[in-house]
Structure 1
Amino acid sequence: MVDYLDSASCLDEVKTNPSVRGLAGVEYDSYLTNQLMISAGMNAEVQTVYRPYYVAAKFLEQLRSQQTVSKADGADFTGLAKPIESLLGLQASLDKAMGLTISDGFEAILPDCQVCENKLGGASRYRTRSHTPTMRP
């Protein structure tokens, strides 16, 4: 069970997630820990809550070794789009379920989100709107 209040537990969750496993060696520990710190939310008890699925998704988006061709001769490849979408969807659900306040810019949405058009402001949206991240075709 993940302890979302413990950065070490969340770092382990990032690194052992099936989408990330084997890609994030110890050389990424400092970077991933920093990402957990800056993207953390606050709960109603004013406790820092780490968001490992957001960090895993952003790590996959940035990892050059996993970037692939997205189209070739009319064929479309999903590559990492589905795992990233899934991780962000899971994090958005957890953020809402835990009633987290999230800093602007760290919301668990895709850059080209159809539902909110990436224009929703701040953490209050988790309490006022239903949101499911989706990718545009």
Structure 2
Amino acid sequence: MTRPLLDQARIHPAALAQIGSYHTDLIAEVEAAVAANKVVVVGMGLNPFPAKARKILDGQGTPYKYLSYGNYFSQWRPRLALKLWSGWATFPLIFVNGTLIGGATDLQKLIASGEFVRLLG
């Protein structure tokens, strides 16, 4: 992986246990959706970019699973777990056939280039 991560040897065992169990239920829910659906959009309320991604997919006639977790004022800790897990800092998180492709702007670029159709298979 190209992003730096703190070496686990530099994390106290008690903190490591807490890190390892941080909202694992939510991560498992997203992983299950990603395994069961060709396209998954993970978003949040009040954020225009998940809505933009859904509109793009609807316009393409592409079926997808949408998971929404809170809004700017709620559920920020669970969303943080998704950001830490994926390495993607913003919403939405868009998965195509199990691969994180990025957000709404990245989806637009992949559609324009024809890469999205290839990823769908």
Greater relative contact order, per chain length (Cα 8 Å cut-off, separation 6+)? 2
* Structure with the higher fraction of residues in strand conformation: 2
Structure richer in helix, relative to its length: 2
Specify if TM > 0.5.
no
The normalised TM-score by structure 2 is 0.29
TM score, norm. by length of structure 1: 0.27
